[in-house]
Structure 1
Amino acid sequence: MVRMQDVAEHANVSIATVSFVVNGTKRVSDKTRRRVESAMSELGFTRNVVARALASKRSRIIALLFPQLDLRFNAASMDFVHGASTAAAERDHHLVVWPVANDPTALRGYLDGGLVDGVLAMEVQLEDPRVPTLEETKTPFVLIGRTADPSGLAWADIDFEKTVRENLDHLAALGHERIALVLEPQHVLGESAYAPPVRVEAAYRDWCADRGFDAIVAPCRRDPASGTELAAALLAEHPDLTAVAIMNDEAAPGLLRGIRASGRTIPGDVSVLGVGMASKVAAFCEPPLVHSSPPGYELGHAAAIALIELLDDPDVEPIRTLLPCRFGEGDSVGPARPFDSARTIGTSMP
C-alpha cells in the first residue's frame, strides 16, 4: 500500500505538503500541486475520502437536485449533468444526483444527512419551494434555472427570450405569419409554475404583439399520443396555420405524425421548429427537426464551478449567466405556402 511518505519522497516534498494537496486543507502552488499529483499517479496512491473529509471538514461532494427522473431525464438533461460532473471532477469534487421532488420536507431529509457541501438545483419553478429550505439550512446552492425573482441568488439559465425571438424571426423571414406555439403544461412539478414554458410563452406573446400576429398557444401533455391528438385539433381550429414551434420533446414525434395524418406535408404545408430541443432528439424525428439546442453542458459546467467557488469563498460574487440556445439544422422548415383551403382536405398519411 502506497503511503503519503512514499509520495513525499517521490515528489521531493514534505509529508505536510502531500497532506495539504490530498486533503485540501492549505493552498499550495500550482507547480507543487502538479508535482505531488504526478507522484500520486505514478505510485498509484489512493486518497482516503473519509479521512480527507474529516481533515478538511468538507466532503467535496456536491448534489444535483433533479426531480422526476423517470419523466424528465432526457438527452437535454444529460448535457446539464455531464457539464456539472466534468466541472466537479476538474475541481477535485464529486457529483451525486439526488432525485428528490421539489418538496421542502423531502429535501430537508436529504440535507440532514450532512453528506454534501453544496447543491445545484435543476427544474426550477417560478416560486420554487426548495429555495427557502436551502436558505434556512444555510446550504450553499446555485440554481440551474431562475425563479420569478432571482435577485440575490446564484443561477445559470437559458436565455429563453433571445432564443424565442431568434427562432420566430427565422420563421417570419420565410414568410410565416400564422405560427402556433406548443408547450408542455406549466404545472408539471407542483403548484408553482415550471419556469421555462412560462418564459417561452411570454416571449412568444411579446413577439406576436410586436408584429401584429395572432398568438396561438397550445399546451400538450408530454407523450407522442397527445402530440398526435393536438395536431388534429390545432389544424382543425386553425386550418391556415403554416408553422408550429414546439417546446415539448416527448410530444414532438406525435405532433409530426398528426400533421401528416391531416393530409399536410412537412415542411411544404406546415413547418415545425423545435425550441430548446436536444440535437439528438431532433435528429430522431421524421423529418429531422430544425431546432434550437440548449447549452446544457456549458450551463451545467458554469453552475458547478460557481458552486465550488462559493464553497471556497462564501463572499464570492454570485454567478448570473444567461446563454441562448444554438440553432441546429434539419429538414422540417421551409417557406410559407399561401393558404389553400382545398389542401386541408387530403389523404390521411399516418
Structure 2
Amino acid sequence: MATMQDVADLAHVSLSTVSYTLTGKRPVSPATRARVEQAMAQLDFRRSPVARALASRRTHVLALAYPVYGVSLGATLNEIVQGAVEAAREADYELVLWPVSSSEPEVLRELAAGRTADGVLLMEVALDDPRIEAVESQGLACALIGRSADPADRVWVDIDFEESLEVAVDHLVGQGHTHIAFVNRSQADLDAGYGPSVRALHAYEESMAQRGLTPVSTPCDVNPGAGRRATTALLAEHPELTAVIVMNELALFGVASALREAGRSVPRDVSVVGIAISGEISDMYDHPLTYLAAPGPDQGRRAVHGLLEVLDGRPAPAGVNLPCTLQVRETSGPVTRLTTP
C-alpha cells in the first residue's frame, strides 16, 4: 500500500507538501498540486481514516443509530441505509452502525462521548426521542431520518405519511371500497410514540372520517406470523372488509396467508395496498403488490447531506417530508361483492 512518502518521492516534493495538498492548511501552487494528485492517482494512494482524523481533527465517520435488536432491517429500511452509505462515501466519510434504540439513551451518550464519529444519524425516531439530547449533550450534531414532535432547527428527512394514507384511502374508495382496514406496526411502537406509526394511524382515521367511513385498525408486530393472526382476527370481527392497507412490510406475508386460509381471493374479494415499502417487497408478494413506494434512498442521502452541511458550519437545511409514489399493480381492484353497511 502506497504511503505519503511514496507520493512525495514520485512527485519530487517534500512530505509536508503532500500533507498541505491533502489538508489545505497551507497554499500549494496549482502546478505542484497537479503533480501530487497525479502521483496519488498513479500509486492508487488512499488516506486512512486515522490519517484524516489526525490531519483535520475529524474522524470522517458518521454513525447510524439504529435499534437492530428486536427490529428487522428489512428491504425498505435497507434502502435508506444504502442511500446514506453512498452519500457518505461520496463525501469521503464512512458510515458505522450504532445499534441503539430510543430506550437506551445512556448507551448512545457513552458512544457519543467517545468522539469516534463526527455526527450521528438517528433512525426509527420517536416523537419524544431521548437519543437526540444524548447525542447533542456530547457536542455532536445529529440528523433525524424521521422526525420528532418538535425537530426545531435540526436536520430531518421524513416520509409524508399523512399524504400517503390519504392517497391509499382515496385509491381504494375510488374503486368502490367502503370497508377498509389498516394494519399498523406494533402496539409497543404506538406506546413508545414511534413517529411513523402514530402519524399514519391518525392520517388513516382522518381520511376515513372525512369520507364518512368507519376506521378499523389493528397494531401488529413486525413479522409474518403476527400479520397472519391480526388479519384472521380482523376478518372474524369484520367479515364485511373488502380492503386492507398494511404499513408493516414483514406482516404483509402473513396477511396473504390469512386471506388464503379464509378463502378470500386477492383482489376479487379483498384488495391489499402496502404503505411505504420497496419494490422488492412488492415483487415478493403473492401477486405484484399495489403499494406506495418509499423514498428510502433519497431519505438516506438527504439526511447525510444535511448533516454534513451542519458539520461544515452551515445552517441546517429545512426539514422535508418526502412523498411516497402510488404504484398500482395486481392486488387492488374494484369491489366485486356486496357488503353490508
In the TM superposition, structure 1's runs of 4+ consecutive aligned residues that sit over 3 Å from their partners are 1-18, 23-39
Structure 2: tracts of 5 or more residues without a match: none
What TM-score, normalized by structure 1, do the two folds share?
0.88
Contact 2:273 2:289 in 1 (8 A): yes
SS in 2 for 1:292: strand
d(CA) in 2 for partners of 1:302 and 1:334?
A: 35
- C-alpha contact (below 8 Å) 2:306/2:316 kept by paired residues: no
What TM-score does the superposition give when structure 2 sets the normalisation length? 0.90
Q: 1:30 to 1:282 in 2, by over 3 A?
A: farther
Task: Tell whether 2:61 aligns with 1:99.
Answer: no
Within 5 A, what are the aligned runs for 1:219-258?
Answer: 219-258=219-258
Q: Give 1:327 deviation, angstroms.
A: 2.2
Q: How far apart, CA to CA, are the structure 2 residues paired with 1:272 and 1:89?
A: 38
Deviation at 1:33, TM superposition (A): 7.3
Aligned residue for 1:97, secondary structure, equals strand
Matched, 1:172 2:173: yes
Q: Deviations for 1:258-285, whole angstroms, at most 9, x for unmatched residues?
A: 1121121110010000111221112111
Give the letter for the 2:307 counterpart: L
Superposition deviation, residue 24 in structure 1: 5.9
Matches within 5 A, 1:119-198: 119-188=120-189, 192-198=192-198
Mapped to 2, the partners of 1:218 and 1:295 lie a distance apart of 25
Mapped contact 1:185–1:220 kept (Cα < 8 A): yes
Following the alignment from structure 1 to structure 2, what is the Cα–Cα distance between the partners of residues 246 and 31? 60
Q: Which residue of 2 aligns with 1:323?
A: 322
Cα distance in 2 for residues equivalent to 1:167 and 1:220: 19
| Unaligned ranges ≥5, structure 1 | 342-350
3-state DSSP of counterpart to 2:276:
coil
Deviation at 1:121, TM superposition (A): 0.5
How far apart in 2 are the matches of 1:28 and 1:211?
67
Distance 1:45 1:169, change over 3 A: same
Contact kept? 1:175, 1:335, Cα under 8 Å: yes
Show the counterpart of 2:111: 110
Q: Residues 25-59 of structure 1, C-alpha deviation per residue, up to 9 Å, x if partnerless? A: 57989999787545412222231432321121101
Deviation at 1:240, TM superposition (A): 1.4
CA distance in 2 between partners of 1:183 and 1:255 (Å): 12
Separation (CA, whole Å) in 2 of partners of 1:221 and 1:172? 27
Q: 1:289-333: per-residue Cα shift (whole Å, max 9, x none)?
A: 1111211101101111111121111x4233412111122343111
Residue 16 of structure 1 and its aligned partner are, at CA, apart by 5.3
What whole-Å deviation, never above 9, does each CA across 1:245-266 have from its counterpart, x for those lacking one?
Answer: 0011111111111112112111
**Residue 347 of structure 1 aligns with which residue?**
none
Distance 1:335 1:64, change over 3 A: same
| Distance in 2 separating the partners of 1:171 and 1:27 | 63
Secondary structure at the counterpart of residue 276 of structure 1: strand
Aligned positions of 1:327-346 closer than 5 A:
327-339=326-338
Q: State the aligned residue count.
A: 339
* In structure 2, C-alpha distance between the alignment counterparts of 1:28 and 1:323, rounded to whole Å: 43
Pairwise CA distance, 1:336? 1.3
